[in-house]
Amino acid sequence: MSKIKENTKKPLVSIVVPAYNEEEIIEKNLTALCEYMKSLEGEYVWELIIINDGSTDTTGDLAETFAQNKNNAYVLHHMYNFRLGQALRYAFSNTQGDFVVVIDMDLSYSPGHIGKM
């Protein structure tokens, strides 16, 4: 992972998104999340950490394709599903943020909650 925060004094927000068999919603929801985070770029820099937790569908490939041309999006993979706790620990050990936010892939909490925090 690169050092996103090197050239700015803005706080870095790390967005952690665990994913397990999310092929039907991953592209749409990651796009919505990134669009929202772009609206906060006047205040923050941000990185997106997607954890593919051993998905048996195309979630991992779709996440990689999504992150491919973004300098602040990363995909971490588990070969097997280790469940949410291990996925989060893995992500936390790979974040750079001053603030770390976890949001479910289904966006059961609106990305708008991030700015309110």
User: What CATH number does residue 83 fall under?
Assistant: 3.90.550.10
Q: Is residue 5 part of a domain?
A: no
Overall number of domains in the chain: 1
Q: Is residue 22 part of a domain?
A: yes
Query: What is the model's pLDDT at position 4?
Result: 66
Token pair listed for 94: 């790979």
Query: What is the model's pLDDT at position 3?
Result: 58
Q: Is 102 exposed, middle or buried (0-12, 13-18, 19+ CB in 10 A)?
A: middle
Q: Give pLDDT tens digits along the chain (117 positions).
A: 555 656 678 999 999 999 999 999 999 999 999 999 999 999 999 999 999 999 999 999 999 999 999 999 999 999 999 999 999 999 999 999 999 999 999 999 999 999 888
Dihedral Cα 108, 111, 115, 117, nearest 10 deg: 20
Domain region containing 94: 14-116
Q: Is residue 111 part of a domain?
A: yes
Q: Is residue 7 part of a domain?
A: no
In whole angstroms, give the CA distance from residue 82 to residue 64: 20
Query: What is the model's pLDDT at position 91?
Result: 95
Q: Is residue 110 part of a domain?
A: yes
Query: What is the model's pLDDT at position 116?
Result: 87
Q: Is residue 25 part of a domain?
A: yes
In single-letter form, the type of residue at position 25 comes to I
Unique residue bearing structure tokens 């289904």: 106
Q: Is residue 3 part of a domain?
A: no
Q: Is residue 26 part of a domain?
A: yes
Report if pTM > 0.85. yes
